[in-house]
Amino acid sequence: MTEIREVDTKELKHLVSERALRGETMLLNMGPQHPSTHGVLRLLLELDGEIVVNCIPDIGFLHTGIEKNMEAKIYQKAEVMTDRLDYLNPLGNNLAYCLALEKLLELDVPPRAQVLRVILAELTRINSHLLWLGTSGLDLAAMSVFLYCMREREAILNIFEMISGARMMTTYIRPGGVWRDVPAEFEAAVHDFVAMMPARIDEYESMLTTNELFLDRTKGIGVISQEDCIRWGISGPILRAAGMPYDMRRVAPYSGYEQYDFNIPTGPDGDVFCRYKVRVDEMRESVKIIDQAIKKLPYGPIRSNNRKVVPPPRSELGSSMEALIHHFKLWTEGFSVPAGGVYTATESPRGELGVYMESNGGPKPQRVRWHAPTFVNLQIMPLLSRGHFVADVVGIIGSIDIVLGDCDR
Amino acid sequence: MDSKLESLATALEQRFAAKQEIFRDQLTLFLTPDRIIEAARALRDEFGFTFLSDESAVDYFPQELPRFHVVYQLRTMQAPYLLLTLRVPIEGGEPHMPTLEKVFPNANWFERELWDMFGIRFDDHSDLRRILMPFDWEGHPLRKDYPLGYEEVEFSFNFNEVEARKPHPKD
């Protein structure tokens, strides 16, 4: 056991007000083991009675050193760790990683794989928003929404399990396409989900959108303006709730998002309620995209035919010498990537998920930088919570939709 | 590449003595540390790059001059949506450069992370503490000369021995 270290308030002198040092306001720790901080986030609150004077987020409790580990692994093996970053957006992380790698390699992706990627990325978005809706409802004392959300999330996780064998850590999207073709029952499962989901979203809304208690706790809480969002680099639902229709899928389309017809929901006020409404509407739009995608899912190969990067199919290994050599080389040495650095951004459920990947020409990356939306969005916590009650801080954290695995990497 | 970005690149090239590089349709400008604030401010106010998307660094370890590149990604928030990469090479040894916090407030945490992970000091930064690693951590993990490390597996027969060797946080 290590001893408990006493922290001197002098260390925080530049962060808290003079009044806190004189003992007029109270410093209160919230987290890192608080049920409503959605993980291991510590907030140091400076309180005047019940009013928050300042809020200092302290992160890093879930730091796993994934960026460092990626530098020591070949590209294919490093991808497995991407699922563990933002564990509610595993396929979105796979996609962001593969897009950066494909840009460096100038690798083609067949149309079937592109459409599959879109379907899966949108399913992941719904999955993440469902968990967010459930837990945020729970924070604001709406218990039953959580149970309903988990029910639909189960259907999505079952689809993930069907395609990849894993419910959360899928690593299904691979450089040059997807791991293997989807099973025959995949299309039916997605059709069922699309048919079921809109009515279910209405059900959630009927429990929250007109609920007096919920409105009281969300309207006018944690307001941020569009200008402040841009100054602080905020993206995703928070920016859209402040009234700016800014979505990576629209401004810099990837994986063929320009072919789909969908709206970008925005909110007028930028408060907790608008963020809730934007996310719920986003689920509807995602269902729309999945519906369009599954209807046009083309037949054909699911992975690039570039044998210098993509391993040959198992069936060729017994008959082709080259296939065997490629297979051996790819799983031992890995493939070499042209030297240079690229930045690609995707729209994760939480905002702009960017990957800055730099190669030195070898089979291991020089640097993989994850621009995590949670890390950026959490920075406005003081801005949002000043002047509100402690009880509202819970709602505000929920509305930022933090995933500490994403934040701490 | 977008023609607007191209004309912008030539304008900036002359004004800030920047070197431009295009890789995979992505424009990168190389700047010196003393020009970065001026350039960022001009980009924000005159050219519409109002959004600092990302700030990170790359370590080219055995190479000392420059050892680090600090990489900024700037965006415009109106159509045409452009992305511009700025790179600032800085020396190893005692790496330091001016902070961008005054121009883009969200650089605060990015720079704290860079200090934590790479040991790059940002002059005049308001709150340069470690952000991800514990406050008493030694070294900067994302540097290339920082070992990856591993943890010895403890069994009942060597538990005390391994435990004694393990690094523990100081008092």
pLDDT in tens, B54-98: 999 999 888 878 889 999 999 888 878 888 898 999 988 888 899
The overall average pLDDT reported for chain A is 87
CB A257 within 8 A of CB A211: no
What the block records as the tokens of B164 is 């004694």
What the block records as the tokens of B106 is 């969200």
Instruction: State yes or no: cis peptide before B80, omega within 30 of 0.
Output: yes
Q: Which residues of B touch A14 (CB under 8 A)?
A: 126-127
Confidence band of A45 (pLDDT split at 50, 70, 90):
confident
pLDDT of amino acid A65:
87
Among the listed residues A123, A114, A138, the one whose alpha carbon sits nearest the alpha carbon of residue A196:
A123
Task: Please provide the distance, in angstroms rounded to a whole number, between the alpha carbons at the two ends of chain B.
Answer: 56
- Inter-chain CB proximity A246 and B106 less than 8 Å: no
The span from the CA of A260 to the CA of A265, in Å, is 15
CB atoms within 10 A of CB A64: 14
The span from the CA of A71 to the CA of A66, in Å, is 9
pLDDT for residue A4 is more than 60: no
**Chain B residue at shortest CA distance from A235:** B53
The span from the CA of A158 to the CA of A151, in Å, is 11
Distances (CA, A) of B124 to A146, A359, B97: 46, 32, 9
Among the listed residues A234, A221, A334, A228, the one whose alpha carbon sits nearest the alpha carbon of residue A272:
A221
> Helix axis angle, A90-105 relative to A111-139, nearest 10°?
140
What the block records as the tokens of B142 is 């994302």
Backbone angles phi, psi at A185, to 5 degrees: -80, 0
- Mean pLDDT, to the nearest integer, of A150-169? 90
Q: Is the pLDDT higher at A3 or at A180? A: A180
pLDDT for residue A259 is more than 80: yes
Confidence band of A1 (pLDDT split at 50, 70, 90):
very low
The span from the CA of A48 to the CA of A54, in Å, is 9
CB A129 within 8 A of CB A89: no
pLDDT of amino acid A3:
57
The span from the CA of A91 to the CA of A93, in Å, is 5
Among the listed residues A339, A336, A337, A317, the one whose alpha carbon sits nearest the alpha carbon of residue A326:
A317
The overall average pLDDT reported for chain B is 85
B77 closest CB neighbour out of A230, A358, A366: A230
Q: Which residues of A touch B126 (CB under 8 A)?
A: 14
- Residue for token digits 């070992």? B147
A2 closest CB neighbour out of B59, B60, B168: B168
Distances (CA, A) of A270 to A31, A56, B36: 26, 21, 32
pLDDT of amino acid A98:
92
Q: Indicate the range of A13-27, A163-177, A180-194 predicted with least confidence.
A: A13-27
Q: Is the pLDDT higher at B5 or at A124? A: A124
What is residue A13's DSSP assignment? T
What the block records as the tokens of A145 is 């929404």
Q: Which residues of A touch B117 (CB under 8 A)?
A: 67
B118–chain A nearest CA distance, Å: 11
What is residue A409's DSSP assignment? -
pLDDT for residue B170 is more than 80: no
Q: Indicate the range of A88-97, A182-191, B130-139 predicted with least confidence.
A: B130-139
Q: How many CA atoms lie within 13 A of B110 on its CB side?
A: 26
Q: Which residues of B touch A345 (CB under 8 A)?
A: 53, 83
**Chain A residue at shortest CA distance from B132:** A60
* Per-residue pLDDT reduced to its tens digit, B34-56: 888 888 888 888 888 888 989 99
What lies within 8 Å, CB to CB, of A330 at 6+ separation is A76, A309, A311
Q: Which residues of B touch A5 (CB under 8 A)?
A: 171
* Per-residue pLDDT reduced to its tens digit, A276-335: 999 999 999 999 999 999 999 899 888 888 888 888 888 888 898 988 998 898 888 888
% of chain A beyond a pLDDT of 70: 96
CB atoms within 10 A of CB A176: 23
Confidence band of A11 (pLDDT split at 50, 70, 90):
low
pLDDT for residue A188 is more than 60: yes
The sheet with strand B51-59 has its strands ordered as B19-23, B26-30, B83-90, B68-75, B51-59
Q: Indicate the range of A97-106, A392-401, B3-12, B116-125 predicted with least confidence.
A: B3-12
Asked whether the ipTM of the predicted complex exceeds the cut of 0.90, the reply is: no
- Inter-chain CB proximity A356 and B54 less than 8 Å: yes
- Mean pLDDT, to the nearest integer, of B105-115? 90
pLDDT for residue B1 is more than 70: no
What is residue A349's DSSP assignment? T
B16–chain A nearest CA distance, Å: 22
Three-state SS string over chain B comes to: CCHHHHHHHHHHHHHCCCEEEEECCEEEEECCHHHHHHHHHHHHHCCCCCEEEEEEEEECCCCCCCCEEEEEEEECCCCCCCEEEEEEEECCCCCEEECCCCCCCCHHHHHHHHHHHHCCEEECCCCCCCCCCCCCCCCCCCCCCCCCCCCCCCCCCCHHHHHHHCCCCCC
Q: What is the pTM of this model?
A: 0.89
Q: Torsion over CA of A26, A30, A32 and A36, rounded to 10 degrees?
A: 180
% of chain B beyond a pLDDT of 70: 97
Confidence band of B3 (pLDDT split at 50, 70, 90):
confident
Residue A106, chain B, CB below 8 Å: the answer is yes
pLDDT of amino acid B171:
55
CA A376 and chain centroid, separation: 13
Residue A379, chain B, CB below 8 Å: the answer is yes
- Inter-chain CB proximity A345 and B53 less than 8 Å: yes
Q: Torsion over CA of B54, B59, B65 and B70, rounded to 10 degrees?
A: 10
Helix (H/G/I), strand (E/B), else coil: A54:
strand
CA B83 and chain centroid, separation: 17
- Mean pLDDT, to the nearest integer, of A221-239? 89
* Per-residue pLDDT reduced to its tens digit, A333-371: 888 889 888 999 999 998 899 999 999 888 899 999 999
